[in-house]
Amino acid sequence: MAQLIDGKAVAARVRAEVKVEVERLKAQRELTPGLAVIRVGEDPASKIYVTGKKKAAEELGFNSWEHHLEASIFQDELLALVQKLNADPAVHGILVQLPLPRHIDAERVIATVSPEKDVDGFHPINAGLLSLGKPGLRPCTPFGVMRLLEEAKCEIAGKRAVVVGRSNIVGKPQALMLLQADATVTICHRKSDLPREVAMADILVVAVGVPELIQGEWIKPGAVVIDVGQNRRADGKLVGDVDFQSASQRASAITPVPGGVGPMTIAMLMRNTIIAATGGV
């Protein structure tokens, strides 16, 4: 049976580290990290996510602001708010909660956020810095996966890592971070022969949003499995992209769903806000 990688416990450690850093910044530099979150419309999931982020920021001693805008807002009005937050020295991190309404160009909005305040790590400049192996703000979920691998004492250098999913939010940056850590990396997508590719993975990261897509018999015995997926089945159960029961019989370590990668995303957002506040990328 695989070792469970407890994302809740690791996230709690990250938050504790951040809290110590916040207290140090306040005492030594009279600096309070500030996080501004923009939410547009009434998407229920977005509301839950933003509430969780705001609560975490306040618990850690950040200054925290939520800007909730009507779904009918004009794009120029949203861009003007982003520019205002860019210019505000009290705001160190800006997060625009996705998805945005269809009439708004999300890529343009993300590109308008100052790269130095882009705590989501989605700005083209930060994406470019990651691709070049240069310091920059990293997307929170793959950043969290790297911390989970570290906490699980997973040796990355020289290992074969397979990333299933090629999104700009998780798959591509995850592959680049693993490559930067000296893994040999394969990115899989809908045209890939998944059973063949997954069977070669010493480290498997899955982020495709398809319930229980990855079968346990595909997994190399002893592999470390990181399941980023969160899917609600018809029976109401929350499951990942990996069939946990069968995969846990072959993996050496695996993240559960829920309680694995999920808690790490907000924790690493807090870490990114500290990095943005101190310029310590």
With contact defined as beta carbons under 8 Å apart, do 206 and 215 qualify?
A: no
**30-114 belongs to CATH 3.40.50.10860:** yes
Contact 119, 93 (CB under 8 A): yes
Name the catalytic one among 6, 54, 76, 97. Answer: 97
Selected catalytic residue, list 118, 120, 241, 243: 120
Residue 134 annotated among the catalytic residues of the structure: no
Which residue in 53, 117, 172, 220 is the catalytic one?
53
Active site (annotated) includes residue 88: no
Instruction: Output the pTM of the full model.
Output: 0.95
3-state secondary structure 134-150: CCCCCCHHHHHHHHHHH
The pLDDT of residue 60 is: 97
CA torsion sign, 102 to 115 to 207 to 262?
negative
What is 140-262's CATH topology?
Rossmann fold (3.40.50)
State the pLDDT at residue 21. Answer: 97
CA 144 – CA 142 distance, rounded (Å): 5
pLDDT at 280 (0 to 100): 67
Q: Is 215 a catalytic residue?
A: no
Phi/psi at 227 (5° precision): -105, 105
Within the chain, strands assigned E span 3-4, 34-40, 63-69, 93-96, 160-164, 184-188, 203-206, 224-227, 231-232, 238-239, 253-254
- Check for a shared fold between 30-114 and 140-262: yes
Ranges of each domain in the chain: 30-114, 140-262
Run means of pLDDT, 10 residues per run, the chain, 281 residues: 96 98 96 97 88 93 97 97 98 96 97 98 98 97 98 98 97 98 97 98 97 98 97 92 98 97 97 93 51
